[in-house]
Amino acid sequence: MSVYLIAEVGTTHDGSLGNALALVDALSVGEYPVNAVKFQDHFADISSLDSPAPCPRGFLAPVESRREYLERVSAWGAREWRALRDAARRRKIDYVVSPFSVAAAERQWQWCEPDRWKVASGQATNLAMLAFLGGTGRPVILSAGLVTADERQVADDALRAAGCTDIAWLCCTSEYPCPPEHARYQEWRYFDGLSDHTRGKWAPIAAVARGARILEKHVTLDTRMYGSDAWHSMSVEEFRALCEELAALEVAMTSGMRGWIPTGARERYLYREPGT
């Protein structure tokens, strides 16, 4: 497919390297594999508010704070992160990371040298981190969910000043899940793609039909899993179905045939006056 499709694993692996590797394998096989798997890297004491607010879990009762959750799911060292990177590259898909601090970006670059960076909208004003990402020479994709047009320009300037020449912005609504009336449909045309938080497949399909070249969608092994994102993510099976539908849409969009009539259809179905 010509659209660059990112499967946003984020932290739905729940701190399990086995879960994370299983998602890489599941999403990179079949007739229509994804282009990239994306993970989040947090230093909980830097990227988490010092708040007793519980980690959101959908219909499940919270048992730990957001800080505790991020500490647990980001407790990997170089061995685990490199195992994920190597698994993705063996499957010939990109390893993409969203760092949530300069420290997270630095260790990802030191350990893994990601193929691309993804900047969450809450980090799009972190100019020190953007300067570091821009200096690595890797493409940078940013979400626009929480930032203004002026802040996007400042972010662009920071990345370009650091030497980044491949910058893309995704339209996004920072609401989980995002109801259709908040999807910002009329704004999609002004962005390079969509970071989608709606339920189902309609938004990614509509975005590609409108010209999106990059898509991002959350995915999980099971929507009943623990954590802040699993309950509103797509299952692997749903994600595969999305890939198939996007591939079919691309065939339709790139078909050059006009006025095609199936063989024999005129003879079988075209109305004729009786006796003719």
pLDDT, tens digit (0-9, with 9 covering 90-100), for 3-57: 999 999 999 999 999 999 999 999 988 778 899 999 999 987 665 555 556 666 6
For the chain, the average pLDDT equals: 90
Give the per-residue pLDDT at 72: 87
- CATH architecture for the domain at 4-269: Alpha-Beta Barrel (3.20)
Domain boundaries, the chain: 4-269
pTM above 0.75?
yes
pLDDT in tens, 83-136: 999 999 999 999 999 999 999 999 999 999 999 999 999 999 999 999 999 999
Q: Which class for 266: exposed (0-12), middle (13-18), buried (19 or more C-beta within 10 A)?
A: exposed
Give the per-residue pLDDT at 99: 96
In Å, what is the CA distance from 36 to each residue of 4, 94, 156, 254?
Answer: 8, 4, 23, 23
Phi then psi for residue 232, to 5 deg, are -110, 15
pLDDT of 229 > 90? The answer is: no
Distance of alpha carbon 228 from its chain centroid, rounded? Answer: 16
What is the SS3 assignment for 209? helix
Give the per-residue pLDDT at 262: 72
Segment holding 171, helix H or strand E: strand 167-172
